[in-house]
Amino acid sequence: MRSMDTIRTIGRLLLRLLATMLLISTIVFLLLRLLPGDPAQVIAGIDANPADVENIRNSLGMNGTIISQYLTWMGNIIHFDFGNSYFSGRPVSTLILERLPVTANLALLAMVFTILTAIPIGVLSAVKRWSIWDAFGLLYSQLGMALPSFWMGILLLLIFSVKLGWFPLFGAQGFNSLILPAISLGLAKSAVLVRITRISMIEELGKPYIEAARAKGLVDRRIQYVHALKNALLPVLTVTGLQLGGLLGGAIIIEQIFSLPGLGRLFLTGIYQRDFAVVQGSVIFMAFLFSGINFLVDLLYALINPKARIS
């Protein structure tokens, strides 16, 4: 029975993932064709040659019926074909794969920073409730949520790169060049996770099984850091997975501040250059990546928590 519940859960999550990706692709397709004016003319410029405009329309697949355009569009997406960049002439999928490692490393490092700071602070804040440690956790959470990531990035650059010279000022020059961007990107996520960890831990510590464990003579440290923490981390796991997807999107501004050649800068460059193929390819890829991360998080949560499989 348990294996059947697991299979049904995986199947349901897969169907939801496929439906989400289909919806994303359809929305991007419709936005391109429902915008006022001719997108090809906008890309080419007002004074562009009609032949150039027609070439752009062909490259966008905007000739033919709306049904044929949609089927061609979906076929290209399935084959990871986002067209060619109008500025460089290179395939957009190639540009994305070249920039992906920088953004992925930045997001993963930011997530490591988030987990290593948020969970210990949140747990300690809950265990030492209304103490100086709890006050520190609440202050850290409040400040982290209040400070914008781009402002923190600029501040860290001024202090640790310009004044102290401990880290590179711009560009991807190895691991050191990702530390300040990761802290800037992960601070707000860490602040949110501290509060969620604290609330979840306090809720678990107030449940009857904790009192039963104390009645059996178990020491408080084992009760807090083994029994309560294991259950308190279930909602934290879900939020952490969602935050990883958010880190990928938040990297757009941070990459611009630190001049990192990732997906964020590729997206912004595409906007500046009116390179629509790059923009729409980046949007679809990031949306698919975010959906895939959510799928893995939901699947992991369902495998860990039997109640999620039953529901």
Full domain range(s) for residue 134: 95-271
Close Cβ partners of 129 (under 8 Å, ≥ 6 residues apart): 202
Does 164 reside within a domain? yes
Q: Considering the chain, what is the average pLDDT of its residues?
A: 79
Global confidence as pTM: 0.77
Whole-number Å distance between alpha carbons of 228 and 219: 13
Where are the extended beta strands (E) located within 7-58? none
Whole-number Å distance between alpha carbons of 237 and 296: 11
pLDDT band at 306 (very low <50, low <70, confident <90, very high): low
Residue 172: predicted pLDDT: 65
Residue 168: predicted pLDDT: 77
Q: Hunting for tokens 């107030």 — which residue is that?
A: 206
Q: What percent of the chain is predicted at pLDDT more than 90?
A: 0
Does 278 reside within a domain? no
Does 295 reside within a domain? no
Whole-number Å distance between alpha carbons of 140 and 147: 11
pLDDT digits 0-9 by tens, 167-202: 777 766 777 788 888 888 888 888 888 888 888 888
Residue 1: predicted pLDDT: 44
Mean pLDDT of 259-283: 81
Q: Find residue 91's DSSP bridge partners.
A: 84
Whole-number Å distance between alpha carbons of 114 and 141: 12
- End-to-end Cα distance, the chain: 14
Does 211 reside within a domain? yes
CATH number of the structural domain spanning residue 117: 1.10.3720.10
pLDDT band at 19 (very low <50, low <70, confident <90, very high): confident
pLDDT digits 0-9 by tens, 73-103: 788 888 888 878 877 778 888 899 988 888 8
Mean pLDDT of 44-72: 74
* CB of 223 closer than 8 Å to CB of 210: yes
Of the candidates 232, 236, 231, 245, the one whose C-alpha atom is nearest the C-alpha of residue 296 is 245
Residue 310: predicted pLDDT: 47
Helices (H), 35-65: 39-44, 50-60
Whole-number Å distance between alpha carbons of 98 and 262: 8
Does 67 reside within a domain? no
Whole-number Å distance between alpha carbons of 54 and 262: 32
Q: Hunting for tokens 């880190």 — which residue is that?
A: 247
Residue 176: what residue type? Answer: N
Does 177 reside within a domain? yes
* CB of 279 closer than 8 Å to CB of 270: yes
Of the candidates 245, 242, 241, the one whose C-alpha atom is nearest the C-alpha of residue 290 is 245
Does 81 reside within a domain? no
Alpha carbons within 13 angstroms on the beta-carbon side of residue 308 total 18
Q: In total, how many domains does the chain have?
A: 1
Whole-number Å distance between alpha carbons of 255 and 151: 13
Whole-number Å distance between alpha carbons of 130 and 47: 67
Residue 230: predicted pLDDT: 75
